[in-house]
Amino acid sequence: MKALVYEGPGQKSWKDVPDPKITHPTDVIVKIDTTTICGTDLHILKGDVPAVTPGRILGHEGVGTITEIGDAVTTLKVGDQVILSCVSACGKCSFCKQGVYSHCLGEEGASGIGWIFGHLIDGTQAEYVRVPYAENSVYPLPQGVNTQMGTLLSDILPTGHEIGVQYGAVKAGDVVAVVGAGPVGLASIATAGLYGPSRVIAIDLDSNRVEQAKKFGATDGVVSSAADWKEQVLALTDGLGVDVAIEAVGVPQTFEMCLEIVRPAGHVANVGVHGKSVDFDLQNLWISNIVISMGLVNTDTLGTLLKLVAQGKIPAEHFISHTFALGDIMEAYDVFGRAAETKALKVMLNA
C-alpha cells in the first residue's frame, strides 16, 4: 500500500510500504476512506515529538471501512464504516478504568499513552491501517454524517471540547478567549458555545482566521499583531481579564498571552502541543488564584459530539477548506503548512 512516512525532522515521503496485518485478536484492519493532516503532524515533522521515529506512518484521524476483524471482535463486522478515535483504549488497564483513556497502558502494557496512531504505531495517512482495541476505539458513522465531517471527530472536536472547554471549566456567562484560531482553536470556539458563554474572543495573528472564527461562534476577534491587542481584549471584559483563556497554538508566546489576559480566579487551558519550554513566573502567579490545566484528549466525549454534529448543532462543515485525493498528500501538506497564505483550515484527503 501507499503511506505517508516520517523520515526524520523536516523529511517525509509518500511511498510503498507493507500492508498492515492483524497482530492481536482485538484488532481490525480498516481501509481509509478519508483522513486529514493535524497541526500535531507539523510539530512531529519539526522534531517536536521525539517519540516518533523515522519510518513511522503519520496520521491519527480518519474514517474508514473495516476489511478484516480479529478473532475476539464481536460487535463489529467487515463492511462497517467507522470513525477512528485518535486515542486507542484497552478498557482494562488502571487508567482506562479511571476514564483516563489518553494514558492507556497500551498493547504491551507499558506505553502509558493512548495516542498511538502516527506516534507509537503506524497511523492513518495510508491506504490501510491496523486499529488496536477496535471495539473501544471506533464509532459507527451514522447516516447524515459524511466521512469528512466524521474525520473531524477523530481528534480536533474532542480535543477542543475536552482539553479547552471542559478543562477550562467554561460556564454560562463567562468571557472566553481562544488564542490561536487554527482548527483546534476553532473547535474550542465551536464547542464553548454549548455552555452559554457571554463572549467568545478569537485571537490570532492571521486576520482571515479571526474573521473565519465568527462562523464557529466567536462573538469578537482580535488580531494579535496589533500593538494594543491586550487592551482590545481587556476592553471586551470589565477590565479585569477573561474568565477562561484557551491556548491553542503551542508556542511560548501564546501561553504567555493567556497568562496576561486571564483574570484573578480564572482558568488557563493549554491545548497546544509545545516543543519548547515556557517561562512560568510562579513568583508573580502564585497570588492570582488561577487554575492552569493541560492534557491529552481522552475522546470520551466523541459519542456526544457525534450526535451534535449529526443534528447540526456544531458547524462542522465550516472546518473543511480544502479537499485532496489521498495520493496528493504531499501537496496537501504544503497547503496546510502555509495556512496563512492558502487560508487553509482543515484539509481533507479522500481515498
Task: Show the cell assigned to 118.
Answer: 502516527
Instruction: Give the pLDDT confidence of 143-185 residue by residue, as tens digits.
Output: 889 999 999 999 999 999 999 999 999 999 999 999 999 999 9
128 and 188 part of one domain: no
150 and 185 part of one domain: no
6 and 150 part of one domain: yes
Q: Average pLDDT for residues 80-103, to the nearest whole number?
A: 96
Contact 236, 201 (CB under 8 A): yes
Please give the pLDDT value at position 109: 61
274 and 302 part of one domain: no
Radius of gyration of the chain from Cα atoms?
20
Instruction: Give the pLDDT confidence of 252-285 residue by residue, as tens digits.
Output: 999 999 999 999 999 999 999 988 899 999 999 9
Question: What is the total count of domains within the chain?
Answer: 2
72 and 174 part of one domain: no
233 and 259 part of one domain: yes
Residue 107 pLDDT > 80: no
Q: Average pLDDT for residues 95-124, to the nearest whole number?
A: 90
Q: Which residues pair with 175 in a beta bridge?
A: 199
Of the candidates 153, 165, 173, 180, the one whose C-alpha atom is nearest the C-alpha of residue 303 is: 153
Q: What is the CATH number of the domain that holds 92?
A: 3.90.180.10
Average pLDDT, the chain: 96
- Per DSSP, the three-state class of 109 is coil
Residue 283's domain comprises 158-294
Q: How far is CA 275 from CA 49, 165, 251, 263, in A?
A: 7, 22, 7, 27
Please give the pLDDT value at position 66: 98
Q: Average pLDDT for residues 117-146, to the nearest whole number?
A: 96
Q: What is the CATH number of the domain that holds 252?
A: 3.40.50.720
Of the candidates 186, 73, 67, 50, the one whose C-alpha atom is nearest the C-alpha of residue 119 is: 50
278 and 315 part of one domain: no
Q: Which residues pair with 292 in a beta bridge?
A: 268
Q: Which of 272, 294, 316 is the last residue of a domain?
A: 294
